[in-house]
């Protein structure tokens, strides 16, 4: 992958859910292990796997989460810190 | 002045009041709930009706007075007395006997609703949805006050990071079920991946809102998966049956929904290790191939290979040179040979030889004819010369034909040589040698002129021009008039035959 493709892929991964990322990572690893890919493709796959790994890892290690209270009064939802 | 007493004194006085009041040896009718049997054999439970409840205890020693195993929801008439537990100031009804009077109202309601919803298929396994593996937004419907929400927050803190959105509700009492339903609806609208409906432990009455039909239907009809976590592990509610997954406790719900963070991290790492190993072995494989190529491409290897090739080229070149030069040599010899064979001198020599022999023949023929004529002149009476003359003529003709055939053979031969030389020259490589060509052309035209010359020498063609020759009776050609004598019989040979003649006179040209 060239730089542009790589940054495009990173962008795509950023918008992916953790579950999608993990599923894609698993898929890529299986493809790599099957050995069916050419060297170029394998390196592409590996680069993608690294991007996905970093994404998953940052989600897991960041660990930031919001704990909010959700109230609905006359059809309007309000959100406050809990 | 009012009396001052200690707490203990107060409790003791109340205990005395109870002892002498109308709360001893009476039947109390109510429903059992929150029953707990201790290893000691004592039973602790609550007796209640639809308005009130009271703690009750059945000591192990009195168990024998009862013919059935009491359980939650049983409607019973209990015989006993009220007593104060001085340490806590709470009073209890001490049961000494008990009569079973039927199933409790709440329990009956629970069973009826459960059966109804089950028949409807609301609890069917096929309706159960799989929980999202990694939910990022978790909705919780529970009290904002109790320990439950804190248990969920604490448990989830070390697990997969997910936002927690609490929709507070009432978890017991009148109207609680409505707030649970609206909590579920609000979270659905707000947008979450999964909803936990939770409540801490409590009596059947306490948990009752989670046994109501509207709550069960809201859970079953929710657009996202719902986990119910109501009461303790032993408590079952209608919500549990309606939910996609039942968690034993609120803490358990968080653990079920969210995977352990370090476990997940390990999963990611192990996937990555696999990816690295696979990519590594792939790279190794290509690396080995590359190494092989590098070795083959190394300067030493290349120069070795080049040397080898150069040697082969040299070898080939010298062999080619040798072959070519020997080929050219041979070709040259052949060309020379061919050229030699068709050299004008050579051809001319042949032609001259032929010419002289033809001359010879002709002169001999003339001599014979002259002699014959002279003899014919001298021996006029001699006959039969015709035959001889005929023979001579045919001999001459034969010679002439021989000459012709020799010539045409020579001609064919020369042409063949020329053609041969031309094709050889062509094969030498399209380098037309002008001088060779012109030399060949010269020889060709020379050969043609010789051919014409030879044609001119043909005795028959001379005869066709009106000449004749003379032979004697024996057929010898007579070349000179002086060789003939008058009266000799001769024959004069013409193109188409001969005439017999007799020499009548003789005259010298001189």
- What mean pLDDT is reported for chain B? 78
Determine which of A22-26, A60-64, B381-385 has the lowest per-residue pLDDT on average. Answer: B381-385
**Contacting residues for A23 by C-beta, under 8 A, at least 6 apart:** none
As a whole-number percent, the residues of chain B with pLDDT over 90 amount to: 35
Of B341, B116, B93, the residue nearest B211 (C-alpha): B116
Which residues, listed in sequence order, are joined to residue B199 by a DSSP beta bridge? B230
- What pLDDT was estimated at residue B174? 82
**Nearest-CA residue of chain B relative to A76?**
B186
Contact check, Cβ <8 Å, A68/B163: yes
pLDDT at B431 over 50: no
Of B379, B398, B396, the residue nearest B473 (C-alpha): B379
- What pLDDT was estimated at residue B283? 74
Task: Tell me what the mean pLDDT of segment B76-103 comes to.
Answer: 89
- What pLDDT was estimated at residue B222? 95
Task: Tell me what the mean pLDDT of segment B121-142 comes to.
Answer: 92
CA–CA distance, B214 with B68 (Å, rounded to integer): 35
Instruction: Provide, as residue numbers in chain B, all residues whose Cβ is less than 8 Å from the Cβ of A79.
Output: 165, 190
Q: Edge to edge, what strands does the sheet with A67-73 contain? A: A76-81, A67-73, B163-168, B137-142, B194-199, B226-230, B245-246
CA–CA distance, B155 with B160 (Å, rounded to integer): 10
Contact check, Cβ <8 Å, B165/A59: no
CA dihedral B36, B41, B46, B48 (to 10 degrees): 120
**Contacting residues for B507 by C-beta, under 8 A, at least 6 apart:** B481
Task: Tell me what the mean pLDDT of segment B124-145 comes to.
Answer: 92
- What pLDDT was estimated at residue B348? 59
SS3 B141: strand
- What pLDDT was estimated at residue B278? 82
Given a contact cutoff of 8 angstroms between Cβ atoms, the answer to whether B95 and B58 are in contact is yes
CA–CA distance, B500 with B377 (Å, rounded to integer): 11
Point out the residue among A46, A57, A67 whose CB comes nearest to the CB of B275: A46
Contact check, Cβ <8 Å, A66/B272: no
Closest-CA distance of chain B to residue A4, Å = 22
**Nearest-CA residue of chain B relative to A21?**
B268
Using alpha carbons, list the distances in angstroms from residue B487 to B253, B382, B473. 167, 9, 12
pLDDT at B316 over 90: no
Instruction: Provide, as residue numbers in chain B, all residues whose Cβ is less than 8 Å from the Cβ of A56.
Output: 264, 268
Given a contact cutoff of 8 angstroms between Cβ atoms, the answer to whether B234 and B266 are in contact is no
CA–CA distance, A26 with A22 (Å, rounded to integer): 6
CA–CA distance, B331 with B325 (Å, rounded to integer): 9
- DSSP letters for chain A: --HHHHHHHHHHHHTS-HHHHHHHHHHHHHHHHHT-S-HHHHHHHHHHHHHHHHHHHHHHHH----EEEEEEETTEEEEEE-
- What pLDDT was estimated at residue A8? 92
For B323-357, what is each residue's pLDDT tens digit? Answer: 666 665 665 666 566 555 555 555 556 556 655 65
pLDDT at B280 over 90: no
Task: Supply φ then ψ for residue B48, to 5 degrees.
Answer: -150, 160
Of B97, B85, B86, the residue nearest B28 (C-alpha): B97
The 3-class secondary structure across B415-472, one letter per residue, is HHHHHHHHHHHHHCCCCCCHHHHHHHHHHHHHHHHHHHHHHHHCHHHHHHCCCCEEEC
Pairing of strands B90-103, B137-142: unpaired
Instruction: Provide, as residue numbers in chain A, all residues whose Cβ is less than 8 Å from the Cβ of B281.
Output: 35
Task: Tell me what the mean pLDDT of segment B41-58 comes to.
Answer: 92
**DSSP 8-class letter at B67:** S
pLDDT at B387 over 70: no
pLDDT at B380 over 80: no
ipTM of the complex: 0.86
Instruction: Provide, as residue numbers in chain B, all residues whose Cβ is less than 8 Å from the Cβ of A42.
Output: 278-279, 282-283
At B180, the pLDDT band (50, 70, 90 cuts) reads: very high
Of B46, B43, B51, B42, the residue nearest B31 (C-alpha): B46
pLDDT at B243 over 70: yes
Helix B147-157 to helix B250-257 angle (10° resolution) is 30
- What pLDDT was estimated at residue B105? 74
CA–CA distance, B270 with B279 (Å, rounded to integer): 14
Task: Supply φ then ψ for residue B481, to 5 degrees.
Answer: -60, -30
Please count the residue pairs, one from chain A and one from chain B, whose beta carbons lie less than 8 angstroms apart: 117
CA–CA distance, B411 with B419 (Å, rounded to integer): 12
Closest-CA distance of chain A to residue B162, Å = 6
Using alpha carbons, list the distances in angstroms from residue B399 to A3, B392, B409. 104, 10, 15
**Nearest-CA residue of chain B relative to A32?**
B278
Contact check, Cβ <8 Å, B163/A82: no
> What is the Cα B53 distance to its own chain's centre?
78
Task: Tell me what the mean pLDDT of segment A48-57 comes to.
Answer: 90
Closest-CA distance of chain A to residue B259, Å = 11
Task: Supply φ then ψ for residue B507, to 5 degrees.
Answer: -145, 130
At B51, the pLDDT band (50, 70, 90 cuts) reads: confident
Instruction: Provide, as residue numbers in chain A, all residues whose Cβ is less than 8 Å from the Cβ of B138.
Output: none
At B244, the pLDDT band (50, 70, 90 cuts) reads: very high
Residue B149, chain A, CB below 8 Å: the answer is: yes
> Could you tell me the residue ranges of all domains in chain A?
3-81
């Amino acid at each position: 992958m060239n730089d542009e493709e790589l940054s495009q892929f990173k962008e795509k991964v950023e918008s992916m859910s953790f579950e999608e990322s993990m599923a894609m990572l698993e898929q890529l690893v299986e493809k790599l292990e099957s050995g069916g890919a050419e060297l170029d493709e394998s390196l592409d796959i590996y680069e993608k796997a690294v991007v996905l790994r970093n994404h998953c890892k940052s989600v897991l290690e960041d660990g930031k989460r919001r704990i909010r209270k959700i109230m609905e009064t006359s059809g309007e939802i309000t959100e406050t810190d809990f | 002045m009012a009396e001052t007493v200690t707490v203990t004194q107060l409790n003791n006085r109340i205990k005395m009041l109870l002892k002498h009041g109308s709360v001893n040896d009476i039947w109390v009718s109510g429903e059992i709930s929150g029953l707990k049997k201790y290893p000691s054999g004592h039973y602790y439970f609550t007796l209640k009706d639809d308005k009130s409840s009271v703690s009750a205890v059945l000591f192990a020693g009195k168990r024998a007075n009862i013919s059935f195993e009491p359980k939650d929801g049983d409607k019973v008439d209990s015989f006993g007395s009220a007593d104060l537990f001085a340490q806590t100031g709470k009073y209890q009804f001490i049961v000494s006997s008990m009569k079973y009077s039927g199933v409790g109202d709440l329990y009956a309601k629970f069973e009826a609703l459960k059966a109804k919803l089950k028949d409807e298929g609301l609890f069917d396994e096929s309706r159960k949805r799989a929980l999202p593996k990694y939910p990022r937004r978790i909705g919780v419907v529970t009290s904002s006050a109790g320990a439950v929400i804190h248990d969920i927050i604490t448990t989830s803190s070390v697990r997969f990071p997910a936002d927690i959105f609490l929709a507070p509700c009432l978890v017991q009492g009148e109207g609680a079920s409505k707030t649970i339903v609206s909590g579920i609806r609000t979270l659905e609208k707000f947008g979450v991946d999964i909803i936990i409906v939770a409540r801490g432990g409590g009596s059947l009455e306490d948990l009752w809102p989670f046994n109501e039909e509207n709550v069960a239907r809201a859970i079953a009809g929710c657009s996202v998966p719902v986990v119910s976590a109501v009461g303790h592990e032993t408590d079952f509610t209608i919500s549990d049956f309606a939910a996609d997954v039942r968690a034993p406790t609120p803490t358990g719900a968080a653990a079920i929904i969210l995977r352990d963070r370090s476990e997940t991290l390990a999963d990611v790492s192990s996937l990555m290790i696999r990816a690295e190993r696979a990519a590594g072995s792939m790279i190794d494989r290509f690396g080995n191939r590359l190494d092989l190529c590098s070795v083959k491409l190394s300067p030493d290897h290349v120069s070795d290979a080049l040397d080898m090739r150069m040697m082969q080229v040299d070898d080939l070149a010298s062999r080619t040179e040798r072959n070519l030069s020997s080929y050219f040599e041979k070709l040259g010899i052949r060309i020379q040979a061919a050229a030699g064979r068709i050299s004008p001198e050579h051809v001319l020599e042949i032609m001259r030889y032929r010419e002289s022999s033809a001359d010879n023949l002709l002169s001999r023929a003339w001599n014979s004819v002259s002699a014959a004529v002279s003899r014919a002149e001298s021996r006029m009476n001699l006959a039969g010369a015709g035959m001889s003359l005929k023979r001579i003529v045919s001999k001459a003709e034969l010679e002439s034909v021989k000459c012709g055939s020799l010539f045409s053979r020579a001609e064919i031969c020369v042409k063949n040589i020329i053609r041969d030389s031309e094709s050889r020259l062509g094969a030498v490589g399209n380098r037309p040698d002008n001088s060779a060509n012109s030399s060949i052309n010269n020889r060709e035209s020379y050969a043609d002129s010789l051919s014409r010359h030879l044609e001119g020498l043909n005795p028959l063609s001379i005869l066709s021009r009106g000449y004749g020759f003379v032979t004697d009776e024996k057929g010898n050609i007579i070349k000179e008039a002086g060789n003939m004598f008058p009266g000799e019989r001769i024959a004069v040979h013409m193109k188409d035959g001969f005439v017999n003649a007799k020499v009548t006179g003789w005259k010298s040209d001189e």
